[in-house]
Chains A and B, each alone.
Chain A
Amino acid sequence: MDGFTISLLAAAVQSGTPILYATLGEILTEKSGILNLGVEGIMMVGALAAFLTALTTGSPALGFAVGGLAGALLAGVHAAVCLGFQGNQVVSGLALTILGTGLANFLGTPFVGKSGPGFTALPIPGLADLPLLGPIFFRQDVLVYLSYLAVPLLWLFLRNTRWGLDLRSVGENPAAAAANGLNVVGWRWIGTMAGGFLTGLGGAYLSLAYTHLWTNGLSAGRGWIAVALVIFAFWRAERAMLGAYLFGGVMAFQLRLQAAGTHLPSSLLLMLPYALTVIVLVLASWRQMRSAMPAGLGINIEPPD
């Protein structure tokens, strides 16, 4: 395989990592039965919080954590609206996207173009020298390696732990879960906020590792791609990884084409990832999408009297 392809695939992994974090977060949220369309806004706020923390403290690691916490906090607003006040989940999520994006762009204005401390590539000794796999997967930064761990961990949590089972039952059939003595509202709070944390990490990756600087509209629709990917992945962590890298690849490819100076208009290239989103969703809906969706998704439950 030639150098161009390998570097493109490596870029696909890097570009797909923020999408992967956000998709994992949304999977966790939706598994608990809450639909959060605020992913884009949560990523933006996570990105800004991470960037500012890293800038002021000089610690990208701390920035990464704060990005996640900011995401969890904003997701908490969604939980409060939907679980505390029985609000409409779609409307609340959309509002969160508008709020998050607007807030991040507004508060970030003084920092536009400023660069801050961040993560740089840290090849893993040994693994980095593997043919093909090494340059693609193991010459990345720490946050990418962390996402490699997050995928099996989420899978294990949902499938093989008592809490994962309880959380899934709350998303599938809240009435049955309640009859089993589970605290449905409590579990949905946990699912939404933990999902927001992961989504916030995705945003933090953008400003700390992907760009090292702040620009307005940094997430550029990645949050929406993550929402679509959840469906493409049939709510499964391992498939989310595949989908995230696929989209990361298209984004990286489009950048490279632009840099190489093709005659195609750039707006057409910019459209590529979103066109792919539509195609992927159409393909996904052909198959088991319906049966893979948590049956209680997006349905509010009445609080017990």
Chain B
Amino acid sequence: MSSPHPPLVRLEKISKSFGDVHANRDIVLDIHAGRIKAILGENGAGKSTLMAMLAGQLQPDGGRILINGQPVRFTSTRQAIQAGIGMVYQHFKLVEAMTVAENLFLSQEKGFWLSHRRMMERTRQLAARYHMTIDPAAKIDDLSMGERQRVEILKLLRRQSRVLIFDEPTAVLTPPEIEQLFRALREMSQQGKAIVFISHKLDEVMDVADEIAILRKGRIIDQLDVAEVTSKAELARRMVGKEVLLEVDRRPCKTGNVLLEAENLSGEGLEGVSLQLCRGEILGIVGVAGNGQKSLAEIICGLQPPASGRVRILGSDWKRFYATRTDKKTLSYIPEDRQGLATCLAMNLVENFLLTTRLTFSRGVWLQRQQARSRLQGLTGDFDIQPPNVDATAGQLSGGNLQKLVLAREFFREPRVIVAEQPTQGLDVAATEEVWKLLLAARQNAGILLITGDLAEALALCDRVAVMFGGRIVDTFPTTDSEKVERIGMMMAGLETPGKVAAG
């Protein structure tokens, strides 16, 4: 059931593409005053693009936006703000060195002199009207994430925004803060504000929203009232999607001894994570980004020490393993941020190759550049890196070729443990397939930890998967267990724990 009133905001066949990528296609959406609308979708589904167009940061390629039936065109954030559309960004847009009150009264339309006393008084009144508490004189730097979000909300209320958009608002909040946020959302919606709540967390959406729109691959595939939802599992399945696009030949491989062991890792967003990785297998860590995968990878790869718990790599304790440096037959990290962590874009391919192989190509203090160069020349052929010019800078390579360079370099080290983080993110189909084949081939002599948010990838490559949610491993099982594989989507959305099956 939709509201009988005409919509406050109507999106008519909105489209937006970046190059060949269609971020949004023919989006039709109504936003009503006094209702909370959830936009549900996976990472990369196009939620943020859609909201950026509403907030005036991006302009749609096609379609139009109507406010109260009048078509509008925003070419700047300021225009959207003036039209009453406000956004609470995932990364807050606050001036940390200033006070709460100062942030609230940034970019005012009128007046010359500011009275700090009056600004604080009005901040207090505004907060009280929506049953929020905040110290107007506090510096943003000293506030918790929940308090900062409250300042963002008050900022919009101060400008009398009629539509308040929240981009993944719970990502940075603790559970009690989430409760407070939801109370504030309901309060604002009762006072006639239109709320748009962007999330991939099913439970939260069911908890707070009145209506749901499901966005997948840039399209709205369904719109319904929360009251109409009969099966959460169905909602989860529709949100995550489950088509396997590619098929690769994965023959079972004999698993050997344990190479990597994590025991009861906690802190830094992890809660009691334990896992074991054996030679000859690919263990997938699947889950929606931000559920602890990053910390897990950073700890295992030596970027941060475990806060508590134990990690053993190739039989050595974490500290000892990272105190002894060798290039060969050790651990290789293929990070998600291949342009920032894995390579230096301004350096040439030989120098990039040497980043993790320099010990192999050193005699005393001298680098044996020529040898590294000819070795890499061979590898560019084997891995089909285009262009095969080792004197080019890494910045000249496409995303797929850069990833192949990283793989060529890391596989040259004959690693025993490989941690691959979103290894095909942003790659096209052909490059994805090549990376998959390379990973499968590498598993003969190594154990691979594959951290991915792409279910299709996990099912295509992994021998076992561990599903992460909220810093915990919900369950670990072989990908041949079809019954459990069916429920991965729900585990990823936090709807299921090993012990309990969520109500349908």
Contact = CB atoms under 8 A, between A and B. Distances in A.
A302 to B, nearest CB: 12
Contacts of B426: none
Contact of A165 (B76, B89, B93, B114): B114
Given A165-B114, A173-B96, A295-B96, A181 B108 contact: no
A92 interface: no
Given A165-B105, A169-B106, A180 B93 contact: yes
Interface in A266-305: 291, 294-295, 304
A177 interface: yes
A166 interface: yes
Contact of A291 (B94, B97, B98, B155): B97
A162 B93 contact: no
Interface in A130-181: 159-166, 168-169, 172-173, 175-181
A180 to B, nearest CB: 4
A182 B97 CA distance: 17
A120 to B, nearest CB: 36
B78 interface: yes
B111 A169 contact: no
A166 B95 contact: no
A166 B111 CA distance: 13
A47 to B, nearest CB: 33
A184 B61 CA distance: 26
Interface string B68-96: 00000000111001100001010011111
B73 to A, nearest CB: 15
Contacts, number: 74
A130 to B, nearest CB: 32
Contacts of A163: 112
B324 interface: no
A294 B98 CA distance: 11
Contacts of A162: 105, 108, 111-114
Given A165-B102, A173-B94, A160 B116 contact: yes
B114 to A, nearest CB: 5
A294 B105 CA distance: 19
Nearest to B80: A181
Contacts of B103: 169
B6 to A, nearest CB: 27
B93 A181 contact: no
B40 to A, nearest CB: 24
Interface residues of A, number: 25
A172 B115 CA distance: 21
Nearest to A163: B112
Nearest to A183: B78
B95 A179 contact: no
B107 interface: yes
Contacts of B108: 162
A160 B119 CA distance: 11
Contacts of A177: 95, 106-107
A29 to B, nearest CB: 17
Contact of B107 (A160, A164, A166, A175): A166
- Give the interface centre of A164, A179, A182, A291 by most chain B CB atoms within 10 Å: A179
A161 B113 contact: yes
A289 to B, nearest CB: 13
A291 B98 CA distance: 11
A170 to B, nearest CB: 9
Nearest to B139: A291
B95 A172 contact: yes
Contact of A181 (B78, B92, B95): B78
Interface string A200-225: 00000000000000000000000000
B102 A179 contact: no
Given A175-B93, A178-B77, A179-B89, A161 B112 contact: yes
Contact of A182 (B106, B114, B115, B155): B106
B113 A180 contact: no
Contacts of B111: 162
Contacts of A159: 114
B97 to A, nearest CB: 5
A295 B97 contact: yes
Contacts of A180: 77, 81, 93, 106-107, 155
Contacts of B97: 172, 291, 294-295
Contact of A168 (B76, B98, B113): B98
Contacts of B81: 180-181
Contacts of A166: 106-107
A295 B141 CA distance: 12
B116 A182 contact: no
A176 B107 contact: no
A177 B108 CA distance: 12
A227 B144 CA distance: 35
Contacts of B105: 162, 165
A173 B78 contact: no
Given A161-B112, A165-B106, A179 B93 contact: yes
Contacts of A164: 114
Contacts of A175: 93
B114 A179 contact: no
A163 B108 CA distance: 9
B94 A176 contact: yes
A28 B115 CA distance: 21
Interface string B105-138: 1111001111110000000000000000000000
A155 to B, nearest CB: 13
A175 B93 CA distance: 7
A161 B116 CA distance: 10
A211 to B, nearest CB: 38
Contacts of B95: 168-169, 172-173, 176-177
B149 to A, nearest CB: 14
Nearest to A173: B95
Contacts of B77: 178-181
A161 B119 CA distance: 12
B204 to A, nearest CB: 24
Contacts of B106: 165-166, 169, 177, 180, 182
A121 to B, nearest CB: 35
B292 to A, nearest CB: 27
Given A175-B93, A177-B106, A160 B98 contact: no
For the complex of A and B, 7 pairs with smallest distance between CB atoms: A181-B78, A179-B93, A176-B93, A180-B107, A172-B95, A173-B95, A181-B81
Interface of B: 57, 76-78, 81-82, 87, 89, 92-98, 102-103, 105-108, 111-116, 155
Given A160-B116, A164-B114, A166-B107, 10 more contacts: A160-B113, A160-B114, A162-B108, A172-B96, A173-B94, A173-B96, A177-B106, A181-B81, A182-B78, A295-B97
19 contacts: A160-B113, A161-B114, A162-B105, A165-B98, A165-B102, A165-B105, A166-B107, A169-B102, A173-B93, A176-B93, A176-B95, A179-B93, A180-B81, A180-B106, A180-B155, A181-B82, A291-B97, A304-B57, A304-B76
